[in-house]
Amino acid sequence: MSRPTEQAGRVDRVLIVGNGIAGLTAADTLRGAGFEGDLTIVGDETHAAYSRPALSKALLHDGDDLSHELAPPTHGATELLGVRATGLDVERRRVALDDGTDLPYDRLVIATGSRARRLSDLPEELTLRGLDDALHLRSRLAEKPSVIVVGGGPLGMEIASGCLAAGSQVTLVSQGVPLLLQLGPHLGEVFTAAARERGLTVVDTEYARLERGGAQAGASRVVLDDGTVLEADLVVTAVGDVPNTEWLASSGLVTSGPLTVDSRGLVRPDVAAAGDLAAFPTPYGIRRIPLWSSAIEQSKVAAAALIRGQEAPTLHFQPYFWTEQFGLSLKAVGYMPVVGPPAYVDGGPGGPALMRWAREDGTGVAAALNYRIPIPRLRRVTQQAA
């Protein structure tokens, strides 16, 4: 005989695994929807939830110690911090933790995010994913070490910018023009030009390998595709992220890689997933979009669906992305990268600019470069005919 809590529709206990912005938003949304039952959040870091985008921006550039802080939670959940989930049994509805406890749930939110992809097992290889990483990198920069950043995506470029601003000599190792893959050729060129102007050395390579050693103790070497060896006091890699889904291997949901959810963020009626680990339906296929606003929007939809099922609205997400680096500030709405030159809605090349790219399907991408504009207006620009 099943207990009342296991009957469909009855929700007494919700467990959220992951205390990043996705987990936090799920908790807030559940409470906002009137869920007054038992709510538990598990987080593998001992820190309170923080703003990850700030780590490679204000925290690194300006030494701003507060920009990543989030308002204290109001969800009243039981918080289990510094513990990691190790297993999920979807039939018995239990999550195992690395401290030996086994938590029951009626509904589960999987929000364990992702981790930095690494190029080696060397402890000399630094990455920037969590608050501890950011604080460590910042403390190392105090001695103005020479730095190699491997990875020409937004994170690698933000790190390079922060290291330069801290007074280091910085070489960026990139597969092709930095930001080309993420933003497209126009913005890639704009940012790369600004970076070079500020003193960044950009090196192009198909692949890079890390080795220990060099002239100085503790130094590292980066070997490029043509055999060129670069040496620096510090090597930071920013070569993508890997979904933290290995703990789900025994659940049968996924063994590694992204966890695919439906348009409401559900994996099954009693299990939702949101944030950097989730791949969800977009107009361009099932995709993972590991961005701040993506985690928040996914989480709102998923939490509502856990309570209201098919009556809950589906996700209609239009990506919002921003970056600050090399004296440039970019805000962009829409699916990137974009090809070709932009249409200038306001401003022009070389100055503050509001730009738009039209896609063949009638949608658009709007980007504001050193141009202050509220997101709702930027969203409207994506829809205008240029």
Partner 1 sequence: MRIVLDRARCEGHGLCEEAAPQLMHLDDEGELVLDREEISVTDSAANAEANAAVRVCPVAALRIA
Q: Which is nearer to partner 1, 54 or 180 (CB)?
A: 54
| Nearest approach, Cβ of residue 103 and partner 1 (Å) | 25
Q: Which is nearer to partner 1, 32 or 281 (CB)?
A: 32
Closest CA to 137 of 242, 56, 213: 56
The span from the first CA to the last CA of the chain, in angstroms, equals 63
| Nearest approach, Cβ of residue 96 and partner 1 (Å) | 29
Which parts of this chain interact with partner 1 (CB under 8 A)? 24-25, 28, 32, 51, 53-54, 58, 66-71, 74, 292-293, 296, 320, 322, 329, 331, 372-378
| Nearest approach, Cβ of residue 88 and partner 1 (Å) | 27
Handedness of CA 343, 344, 348, 349 (dihedral sign): negative
Ramachandran class of 18: left when φ > 0, alpha when ψ lies in -120 to 50, beta otherwise: left
Q: Which is nearer to partner 1, 134 or 254 (CB)?
A: 134
DSSP codes, 105-139:
-SEEEE---EEE--S-S-TTEEE--SHHHHHHHHH
| Nearest approach, Cβ of residue 329 and partner 1 (Å) | 8
| Nearest approach, Cβ of residue 382 and partner 1 (Å) | 14
Single-letter amino acid code for the residue at 96: A
| Nearest approach, Cβ of residue 49 and partner 1 (Å) | 10
Q: Which is nearer to partner 1, 1 or 66 (CB)?
A: 66
Closest CA to 352 of 375, 331, 335: 331
Cis, bond preceding 337 (omega within 30 deg of 0)? yes
Question: How far apart, in whole angstroms, are the C-alpha atoms of residue 257 and residue 259?
Answer: 7
* 107 DSSP β-pair partners: 14
Q: Which is nearer to partner 1, 150 or 306 (CB)?
A: 306
* 370 DSSP β-pair partners: none
Rg value, the chain, Cα: 22
Which two three-digit tokens encode residue 38? 């038992």
Q: Which is nearer to partner 1, 57 or 107 (CB)?
A: 57
Q: Which is nearer to partner 1, 68 or 186 (CB)?
A: 68
| Nearest approach, Cβ of residue 368 and partner 1 (Å) | 9
| Nearest approach, Cβ of residue 32 and partner 1 (Å) | 5
Q: Which is nearer to partner 1, 218 or 374 (CB)?
A: 374
Residue 273 exposed, middle or buried by CB count within 10 Å (0-12, 13-18, 19+) = buried
